[in-house]
Structure 1
Amino acid sequence: MEDSGSGQEEKMQHMYRGLRMNQMGIRTELLLSFVEKKTWEHALLHCSQEHTTLTSLVSETEDLQALRKIQHDDITERVWIGLRFLGDRWLWVDGDPLVYENWAEGGEEDYQCPRMKRCGALTKGGQWENWDCEDSLHFICY
């Protein structure tokens, strides 16, 4: 179930901004929305209506930039990113190639062939995890 957050959270209206390059070399802003938590699908819809899409993390630099922005107490332990398992592989929803990967080591390794957890999340520890798409988490748009 989607959680719209408390009135106090809604008043905070926190957005953190950074810069990233898309595959065409155009600078885009990396935005973190932690005012509201959403399912992966609702986060994708929100991003497409307000910005462009959920962010892709195509390099260690972008991964570290996003990680710095989620290190706040009022942000969920993991946040949605634009990674989705479709068919037989993980894809970035914006079309960026999946050349850089940062999956959590030693945890559940079902990301290679997930049955239920088919959406990608970035943890505050800096790794990616496959997660249940129906969970409500904060998310990163750009």
Structure 2
Amino acid sequence: MLVQSCSEAFPFLCYKHNLVLVQKKLSWEQALEACGNISPKHRLLSLEPSDLNNVLNHVQQASTSKVWVGLRFLGGSWFWSDGGAVSLSLPECPQSGLHCGALVVDRSSGSDLIEPSDCSQSLSVLCYGEP
């Protein structure tokens, strides 16, 4: 059995509270699967507007400028992958090919917190685990 120091950093996963930042760059579909592979209680993060600033504090170590969250546009509407209602302000009809939601990590450009993105784009992933 290999013994590791608790202070040793591993670049693949970063645990902070119930959030898991997966540094590996994945498409949205791969991200959905990766969260479920952490444990049966993990899924892509669903957000309320009041959660956004707190979550941003936990993703500053992301290896990409955006991270996948559980937001998807299908059948003419946005939904969270866990089935929750979307209460964020998003475009009613995103541009062609931009049907997955990503949380913007670096807001210095003044961009929105959540941005419609190409689902095949390779980004870091933000998962949430039920306690």
Q: Name the TM-score class by shorter chain.
A: 0.7 to 0.9
Does the 8 A contact of 2:14 with 2:22 survive in 1? yes
Q: Do 1:16 and 1:69's aligned partners in 2 also have CA atoms closer than 8 Å?
A: no
TM-score by length of 1: 0.71
Mapped partners of 1:13, 1:117: distance in 2: 26
Cα RMSD after superposing both structures? 1.9
Q: Percent same amino acid among aligned pairs?
A: 36
Q: Which has the higher helix share?
A: 1
Aligned residues of 1:121 and 1:130 also touching (Cα < 8 A): yes
Matched, 1:83 2:71: yes
CA distance change for structure 1 residues 102 and 127 in 2, over 3 Å: closer, same or farther? farther
Give 2:34's match in structure 1, choosing from 30, 33, 46: 46
**How many matched pairs?**
112
Question: Runs of at least 4 residues of structure 1 off by over 3 A?
Answer: none
Find the counterpart in structure 2 of residue 92 from structure 1.
80
Question: Is 1:129 equivalent to 2:115 in the alignment?
Answer: yes
Contact between 2:73 and 2:79, CA under 8 Å: does it hold in 1?
yes
Unaligned stretches of 5+ residues in structure 1: 1-10, 19-28, 104-110
Distance 1:64 1:102 in 2: 15
Secondary structure of the structure 1 residue equivalent to 2:35: helix
Q: Which runs of 5+ in 2 are unaligned?
A: 1-9
In the alignment, is the contact (CA less than 8 A) between 2:25 and 2:122 conserved in 1?
yes
Deviation at 1:102, TM superposition (A): 5.2
State the SS of the aligned residue for 1:96: coil
- Other-structure match for 1:15: 14
- Tell me the TM-score normalized by structure 2: 0.76
What's the counterpart of residue 6 of structure 2? none
Separation in 2, partners of 1:140, 1:33: 6
Aligned to 2:57, the other structure's residue is in SS state helix
> Deviation of residue 81 (structure 1)?
0.4
Distance 2:11 2:79 in 1: 33
Letter in 2 for 1:121: A
